[in-house]
Amino acid sequence: MAAISEKATSSGPLEYSTEEGSLKIFGFWIFLGAEIVLFATLFATYLVLHGQTAGGPTSKELFEVRDFMIETLLLLTSSFTCGLAVLEMRKGNKKGYMAWMAITLLLGLGFLGMEIREFVTYVSEGAGLSRSAFLSGFFILVGTHGAHVSLGVLWILCVMAQIAKRGFTPMTARKAFITGLYWHFLDVVWIFIFTAVYLTGVVT
């Protein structure tokens, strides 16, 4: 209960200090529940079509263990640095938040770069979206996640710009916390892509 940082109110973190802040964070959790269902439909589609390669390349032939491990480690580490950024935000340390968030974004961009390179390689090998039902399912599932990461990078940049200008207020702290939740959630989705698409894809 004790206010550890001078910036936080006695009742807890700044982002929860107003009723609006609390409600919007709760609202974001509801949105994440809907996102789980959205991704579940794409996972279901991919998993039932995994074997339908129409004579084209199979997942075993396409996936490179080294590449998807690097993608996974980049995203896992970015989730960790994002957590550290929110921790600095709660201490009221703007510089710390900015630095950890910049690292998070660089790791996120590294992930996107790897993913785009992977997609370009597949397409150049004749394994594009329309080659087989398996590849349609693959590109839609992994691509939807990639689009979320891209959106996340842009969104976080906007929030960082606002914090650079206004510092931490109940509003900017709430935005920083919510973008953090979004980023961690994208890592959660990736864990299931890593497991159900890549790891499963190299053995079956």
Partner 1 sequence: MEQTQHHSPKHHIIGFIWSLLLTFAALWVTLKAPIPVGLRLTIIVILAIFQFVVQLVYFMHISEGDSKVFQIINLLYGIFVAVATVAGSIWIMLYNTM
Q: How far is the CB of 124 from partner 1 (least distance, A)?
A: 26
Structure tokens at 198: 């890549």
DSSP state letters, 39-98: HHHHHHHHHHHTT--TTS--HHHH--HHHHHHHHHHHHHHHHHHHHHHHHHHTT-HHHHH
CB of 141 to partner 1, least distance (A): 12
Strand, helix or coil for residue 9:
strand
User: How many residues of this chain interact with partner 1, rule: CB under 8 A?
Assistant: 57
Residues between 88 and 147 that touch partner 1 (CB under 8 A): 90-91
Exposure letters 89-115 (e unless 16+ CB within 10 A, then b): bbebbbeebbebbebbbebbebbbebb
Residue 152's alpha-carbon distances to 24, 81, 126, 184, in angstroms, are 18, 15, 30, 11
> Using CB under 8 A as the criterion, what x/- string covers residues 58-77 for binding partner 1?
-------x---x--xx--xx
Q: Looking at residues 158 to 187 of the shown chain, list those that interact with partner 1 (rule: CB under 8 A).
A: 180-181, 184-185, 187
Residue 4's identity, in one-letter code, is I
Q: Which is nearer to partner 1, 1 or 54 (CB)?
A: 1
Nearer to partner 1, 102 or 123 (CB): 102
Q: Which is nearer to partner 1, 26 or 126 (CB)?
A: 26
Check residue 9 for interaction with partner 1 (CB under 8 A). no
- Please state, in angstroms and rounded to a whole number, the distance separating the CA atoms of residues 82 and 9: 23
Positions touching partner 1 (CB under 8 A) are 1-2, 4-5, 12-13, 16, 22, 25-26, 29-30, 32-37, 39-41, 43-45, 47-48, 51, 65, 69, 72-73, 76-77, 79-80, 82-84, 87, 90-91, 180-181, 184-185, 187-188, 191-192, 194-196, 199-200, 202-204
